[in-house]
Structure 1
Amino acid sequence: MDTDVLIVGAGPTGLTLAGDLARAGIGHMLLERRSGEPNTTRAFAVHARTLEQLDMRGVADELVATGQQLPGIRLFGKTMVSLAGVPSRFPYVLITPQYETERVLAGRGVRVTSGAAVTSVDQDDDGVTATLDDGRTLRARYLVGCDGVHSVVRRAIGLSYPGRSVLRSIMLADVRLREKPAETLTVSSAVGAMAFIAPFGDGWYRVFSWNSDERPVSEPVELAEIRATVRQACGTDFGLHDPRWMSRFHSDERQAPHYRVGRVFLAGDAAHCHSPAGGQGMNTGIQDAANLGWKLAAAVRGHDGLLDSYETERHPIGRTAVKSSGALVRSGIARSAPQRALRLAAVRIPLSVPAIRRKGALMISGVGISYGNGVDRVPDVPLPDGRRLYEALRDGRFALLGQPALDIGAWSERVTPTDASSAGDRIILVRPDGYAAWSGAPADTAGLLTALRHWCGAPAGKPVAS
């Protein structure tokens, strides 16, 4: 073996996964086909649950300092989803360019092998072999494809990518504006047009625009076309000028039928892609990696019984992101006035109900994500030693809230006791990704013992339970 885990693709998903494996002391290589190409980032929104995951890695506050905090998200029209009531240290959406997110993730000791394009992947019972475009081969116990919508890894393991284009020929541009928009994040639409404008923070703005005159992605973009589309959607083009980059792309709704085939896994856009509405793409990918990293670390150490739970837990979340973002974007695009009115009403009316509005905020922020069967998000509670729970999780180990009757010394290298009280004086075994692995009464030593064996492996000095 050249390493334990090969990661293909050094975007936010791959960087998160590499950082987690480095923290766990697991050998890995992060391969990136690009070499010195300009950053054409598309993601600007970092939601609360992603910031919580970054907090568990000690880099959230650094990222927050780079952007602007929005207390809510304005959907197409006048519909606003407030995030102020989200139960988190981060009750907002952070607007910052993707390259800032990548920078803080790379700062966790991540090393990227650039100019390493994977052309094929083969696996057997013992490991995975990746062939590069220069003829070299690399072998590892596991491989994770984080290589985007056009994933070479996904194709190599024979997985389809069913779905369709929801928006064709979206125009992208980095520009300067003579008129500063009234809102930090501008999202607007009209019959036959839509526009999204986000700041880089240095005087440059990223513009996404679409109109019903959909052209081939191979056709060059003209600044006049972007101006006209933004003006149609927003009522003004904000004095858009001096583009430094322009392009077109199709926005697809797709999801791989599986996230695991043998020793190969998919994460991020290689596993699912969707419209930019709601800013779910990068956030979902980072959370994929947060779910998978500690499970791969356990597998390398011999406890591989958790690997199937990655697909079981994350595939439904990806499916929800595809559906919800698709519903949002369809509410904003319409080719006739009656169709537009109906679609906007379909969003606005339900969100006028407080309970639905709160559920929407929890869904968009990611704080409401649950994997079922009690595997729910654990709040960032204060601990007796003055730290918060998410700070205690920064070493990548499990944490135990409460004072159990069971001596957990045999798992001391994998579980951090906190002596913290929890709701109802229950014991909660917290996974490294901040979700509850198990919850029970302090006297339920049998339940805790079973949970420790299942989630953390056999006690020290004994073989791993099958």
Structure 2
Amino acid sequence: MNGTPRTTPDTTIDTGTDSGSGSDSGTGTVIVVGAGPTGLLLAGDLAAAGVPVTLVEKRPSRISNLSRAFGLHARSMEQLDARDLAEPLEAIGRRLEHLRFFDLALDFAALPSRFNHVLMVPQYEVEKVLRRRAVEAGAELRYETEVTGLRQDPSGVTVAVRGPDGNPGELRARYVVGADGVRSAVRHAVGLPFPGRAVIRSVVIADVRFAEEYGAQLTGDFVPGAFVVVAPFGDGYHRVVGWQRERNVPDSEPVDLAEVKELVRRVTGRDYGMHDPRWLSRFHSEERQVPAYRVGRVFLAGDAAHVHSPAGGQGMNTGLQDAANLSWKLAAVLHGRAPGTLLDSYQSERHPVGRAVLRSSGGMIRLAMASRPGARALRSAAVTALDHAAPVRRRVVGQIAGVGYRYDAPRGAHRLTGRRVPDVALAGGGRLYEALRGGRFVLISPDATAPDAMRDGDGRDGRADRLAVERWASGRRTAVLVRPDGYVAWAAEDPDPAATEAALAAHVG
């Protein structure tokens, strides 16, 4: 893409307050385009919240056994836990607590999370559990259906599609979310540029078996002009990602096992007797991000909004976080419990995170590619500095794991506002992420008067479907209102009932 916006008629509308009311046939509905992890999580969330949702995917309905992404970080696992999906993935994945990435040791065991590890699990397994949840919640999935354009008007979006029979048709919805990848048809339709560039070309990727013993952790090694990353899946296969400077060929150039073996031998001194490849491919890595995640009634998420190097394994994870941020906001607006302006916070919260991931993953891949003496010396100095600076190293691990990000808070807000809440213990033996499984806000209160919070502003029991009230197991005196995505919406020390009610009215409705 050359970075020049492509425009289509009627692609911008007023993004002011929108209660979700209206009379057109698309009222209260959402179309999600793209059935990867981002789109499936989003569609499942909306359907579970009672929002009619149609997921459109141009591929056939089968889930590919190509693993593509291969790791879930702590923040993604927390979000999956809030949907009761973490346990089945933990059962089939492999936990890695320590990673060695190009001489830098990264310790995930110290993360402030129940999931203090990286879970090695193929992307297709993640898609399986997300698709099952979406279908069971009532989402409509339309495969072999390609988006060919869209137009917006003040009440909704009309999406032009081509169905399995090749005939054109139209779908109508209140909002559309493009989660359709780096070549997003939705992004193209709204005329957004995708500025950036390719950062590394001709990277080989393979899932293979090893005949010789290999370490139990993910490792990255390099020599001048080449690097290799190896990660065990736990099912007998290992993911191998490698690059060598002089082998700069198109992505279409076939990869054979001999090329992978030669590359691994060059970097590590041995090929571990690799055999039985189930996937061999070649790709190039780009760094791109759209300037806006929202254009009127259309949103972009996952790779449709941002792509970056595979260093740190943050691609699928960042997309899942986009979906978790956007889904509850769409549901709140469509149910008339929040103004349409709430949807603007998707851009202000997620765009900076996408930009930060581009910077961190880009920095790691450039260190790995360093070949000139000065660049290699800089890499060695950076690794040494991190090894001797524990706070910086913890911050790096926290950002890779996704638990180190916070959202901006209004001036004068409590210091916890905008922060991610870990899986704290609750009175009665429960924990926060179990309480979040209903897709509701959770008020963690320091006293027993909190049940009054279940009443709405008219004194009626009107909040049970969108608010759970819990108490701290520790006896803490802070009241914390946790959003459905696990971030603090409001907090106060020993608040009076009026302050709590004002916060609930503002955030929960």
TM class by shorter chain equals over 0.9
Shift of 1:63: 0.9
| Residue number in structure 2 paired with 1:307 | 343
Native 8 Å contact 2:440 2:468 kept in 1 = yes
CA distance in 2, matches of 1:22, 1:196: 38
The alignment partner of 1:187 has SS state of strand
| Residue number in structure 1 paired with 2:421 | 378
Shift of 1:57: 0.6
2:289 paired residue among 255, 265, 280: 255
Change (3 A) 1:38 1:105: closer
| Residue number in structure 2 paired with 1:185 | 218
* Cα displacement string for residues 248-278 of structure 1 (whole angstroms, at most 9, x for unaligned residues): 2111111110110101001111111111111
The equivalences for 1:184-263 within 5 A come to 184-213=217-246, 214-263=248-297
CA distance in 2, matches of 1:94, 1:297: 30
Gaps of 5+ in 1: 458-466
Native 8 Å contact 1:32 1:117 kept in 2 = yes
| Residue number in structure 1 paired with 2:308 | 274
Change (3 A) 1:82 1:244: closer
| Residue number in structure 1 paired with 2:330 | 296
Which moves more between the two structures, 54-63 or 349-358?
349-358
Letter in 2 for 1:12: P
Letter in 2 for 1:126: S
Shift of 1:85: 1.5
Shift of 1:446: 4.4
Change (3 A) 1:246 1:427: same
| Residue number in structure 1 paired with 2:99 | 73
Shift of 1:44: 1.3
| Residue number in structure 2 paired with 1:167 | 200
Provide the aligned C-alpha RMSD in A. 2.0
Native 8 Å contact 1:331 1:346 kept in 2 = no
The alignment partner of 1:155 has SS state of helix
Which moves more between the two structures, 406-415 or 228-237?
406-415
| Residue number in structure 2 paired with 1:103 | 128
Q: Tell me, yes or no, if structure 1 residue 145 matches structure 2 residue 178.
A: yes
Native 8 Å contact 1:16 1:289 kept in 2 = yes
The alignment partner of 2:468 has SS state of strand
Which moves more between the two structures, 98-107 or 262-271?
98-107
The alignment partner of 2:406 has SS state of coil
| Residue number in structure 2 paired with 1:155 | 188
The alignment partner of 2:243 has SS state of strand
* Cα displacement string for residues 252-306 of structure 1 (whole angstroms, at most 9, x for unaligned residues): 1111101101010011111111111111111111011111100010111122231
Change (3 A) 1:432 1:422: farther
Shift of 1:344: 3.4
The equivalences for 1:123-134 within 5 A come to 123-133=152-162, 134=167
Native 8 Å contact 2:99 2:219 kept in 1 = no
CA distance in 2, matches of 1:81, 1:422: 31
| Residue number in structure 1 paired with 2:47 | 22
Which moves more between the two structures, 64-73 or 191-200?
191-200
CA distance in 2, matches of 1:248, 1:362: 30
Change (3 A) 1:153 1:389: same
CA distance in 2, matches of 1:447, 1:309: 23
Shift of 1:4: 0.4
Q: Tell me, yes or no, if structure 1 residue 116 matches structure 2 residue 145.
A: yes
Shift of 1:179: 2.0
| Residue number in structure 1 paired with 2:466 | 414
CA distance in 1, matches of 2:153, 2:304: 22
Change (3 A) 1:239 1:139: same
Count of matched residue positions in the alignment of Structure 1 and Structure 2:
456
CA distance in 2, matches of 1:422, 1:239: 53
Q: Tell me, yes or no, if structure 1 residue 400 matches structure 2 residue 443.
A: yes
Which moves more between the two structures, 38-47 or 48-57?
38-47
Q: Tell me, yes or no, if structure 1 residue 8 matches structure 2 residue 44.
A: no
CA distance in 1, matches of 2:345, 2:134: 27
Native 8 Å contact 1:330 1:343 kept in 2 = no
The alignment partner of 2:282 has SS state of strand
CA distance in 2, matches of 1:96, 1:451: 40
Shift of 1:29: 0.8
Task: Tell me the percent identity.
Answer: 51
Native 8 Å contact 2:40 2:134 kept in 1 = no
The alignment partner of 1:108 has SS state of helix
Native 8 Å contact 1:170 1:208 kept in 2 = yes
The equivalences for 1:76-95 within 5 A come to 76-77=102-103, 79-95=104-120
Native 8 Å contact 2:120 2:234 kept in 1 = no
Q: Tell me, yes or no, if structure 1 residue 321 matches structure 2 residue 330.
A: no
Letter in 2 for 1:52: E
Native 8 Å contact 1:404 1:445 kept in 2 = no
CA distance in 1, matches of 2:387, 2:327: 36
| Residue number in structure 2 paired with 1:58 | 84
Q: Tell me, yes or no, if structure 1 residue 427 matches structure 2 residue 479.
A: yes
Shift of 1:124: 1.2
Change (3 A) 1:344 1:127: farther
Q: Tell me, yes or no, if structure 1 residue 47 matches structure 2 residue 73.
A: yes
* Cα displacement string for residues 111-153 of structure 1 (whole angstroms, at most 9, x for unaligned residues): 5321111121221111111111231111100010111111111
